[in-house]
Amino acid sequence: MGVWQSYRLRLQRKRSHLRALRKSRELRVVRDRTDRIRPKDIIVFSTLRNEDIRLPYFLQYYRDLGVNHFIIVDNDSDDGGCEYLAGQPDVSLWTTTASYRRARFGVDWLNYLQRKHGHGHWTLVVDPDEFFVFPFSDTRSISALTDWLEASEIRSFSAMLLDMYPKGRIDAVPYKRGQNPLEIASWFDAGNYTLSKNHLYYNLWIQGGPRARKFFTEEPWRAPALNKTPLVKWDKRYAYVSSTHMLLPRGLNLVYDEWGGEKASGVLLHAKFLDTFTEKAREELERGQHYANGHEYKAYAEGLAEHPDLWCKWSEKYINWRQLEILGLMSKGNWA
């Protein structure tokens, strides 16, 4: 049984590599600066569409963390973001007009590019509205973390998605280009997350937060997954299966301790709920390019019309990673 299961997963992994190769024909290179990547560089991989307004802060945030290069797939943007990215000295850019959904929500494109350019590097897969926070991220760079992970023989690092939202209507304060979105969306739910384990892939399934609380009370099992493993010492044999929630080989998903201890982990601050969101939700609903036929976006469109305010009196205001550590949303593990 165990051997058979492993073999099946191995086949699945091979299939996703073939699929990534096939889907790579949809990509057209805009600016390839991958020759500037040096052996120990840390690379951000991202796929996006019409996120121009978020890009300057996104790039700045990750440059400050110590990321050396960005590899980005632009899915048919028409807001000038593509041109902006092409002008950045540390960005390699591909573009495509193909279907996001049929590339398994961008996973195939990134799997291809990671296999090609990420081998042997620490790679971080994030969306432009996700901001990676790890233990000591205010005093140590991301290479301190990756050096430590490497010395500890850890290949993958988990960072749960933490939905951030403003106090008041989400469209009350307009977001300005280049601004830190966490200045507006600075609140989060501290302790209403539930976990369960996937016994085939070994990954956790985390649900909860404001989206579950506001939009999925009737069908809680449909609430979006918040577990992510974005930081991986990439090897060309690896593949993401479903967004960054699951990896193959499945050992990479064992980012949690089962014997009582805590492994080190971080958080992805998810600044999705800004004034730009209402527009985005409508657009995505029309395009129907999102997970489960955009069921999520349908729920948001309905939910937000009724309660445009995600804030409640028990919401916490974000201060720093130490606060998240104390609240038990992330852990230092044995890194000190």
Partner 1 sequence: MSLGVVMLVHTALNRAEQVIRHWSASGCPVVIHVDRNVDRSTYDRFVQSLADLPDVEFSKRHRCEWGTWGLVAASQAASEQLLRNFPRVRHAYLASGSCMPLRPVEDLQDYLAARPRTDFIESATTADVPWTIGGLDEERFTLRFPFSFRRQRFLFDRYVEFQRRFKLHRKLPEGIVPHMGSQWWCLTRQTLSAILEDPDRPTYDRYFRRVWIPDESYFQTLVRLYSQNVESRSLTLSKFDYQGKPHIFYDDHLQLLRRSDCFVARKIWPQADLLYDTFLKSANPMKGSEPNPGKIDRIFSKAVERRTRGRAGLFMQSRLPRDGHENGFTSAPYSIFEGFTELFEDFEPWLARVTETRVHGHLFAAEGVEFEERQQTFAGALCDNPRLRDHNARMFLTNLIWNTRGERQCFQFGPRDSQLVSWDLAKDPNAQINVITGAWSIPLFLSNRNFSQIRAEAAELQRIESEHLEALRSYWAKARVRIWTLAEFVESPMEALQTVLDEMGHKTRRSVTEAPRMVDLTGFAQFLQNLKNQGMHPYLMGDFPTDPAPQQPRRQQRKPYLVR
Residues that bind partner 1 (CB under 8 A): 136, 139-141, 143-144, 147-148, 151-152, 158-160, 189-197, 204, 206-207, 210, 212-213, 216-221, 227, 255-265, 312-316, 328-336
Nearer to partner 1, 111 or 331 (CB): 331
Give the closest residue to 311 by CA, choosing from 212, 168, 161, 182. 168
Nearer to partner 1, 194 or 293 (CB): 194
Distance of CA 308 to the CA centre of its chain: 24
Q: Which one-letter amino acid corresponds to residue 241? A: V
Nearer to partner 1, 93 or 161 (CB): 161
Q: What is the DSSP letter of 223?
A: S
What's the token pair of residue 289? 């390019």
Q: How far apart (Å, rounded) are the C-alpha atoms in residues 330 and 324?
A: 6
| Minimum gap (Å) between residue 192 Cβ and partner 1 | 5
Q: How far apart (Å, rounded) are the C-alpha atoms in residues 298 and 285?
A: 7
| Minimum gap (Å) between residue 303 Cβ and partner 1 | 13
Strand order in the sheet with 159-163: 130-133, 266-270, 159-163
Please, is 320 exposed, middle or buried when counting C-beta atoms within 10 Å of its C-beta (0-12, 13-18, 19+)? exposed
| Minimum gap (Å) between residue 231 Cβ and partner 1 | 13
| Minimum gap (Å) between residue 64 Cβ and partner 1 | 15
Nearer to partner 1, 4 or 259 (CB): 259
| Minimum gap (Å) between residue 141 Cβ and partner 1 | 7
Nearer to partner 1, 184 or 212 (CB): 212
Nearer to partner 1, 60 or 152 (CB): 152
| Minimum gap (Å) between residue 310 Cβ and partner 1 | 10
Torsion of CA 10, 267, 270, 121, to 10 degrees: -50
> CB count, 10 Å around CB of 278?
18
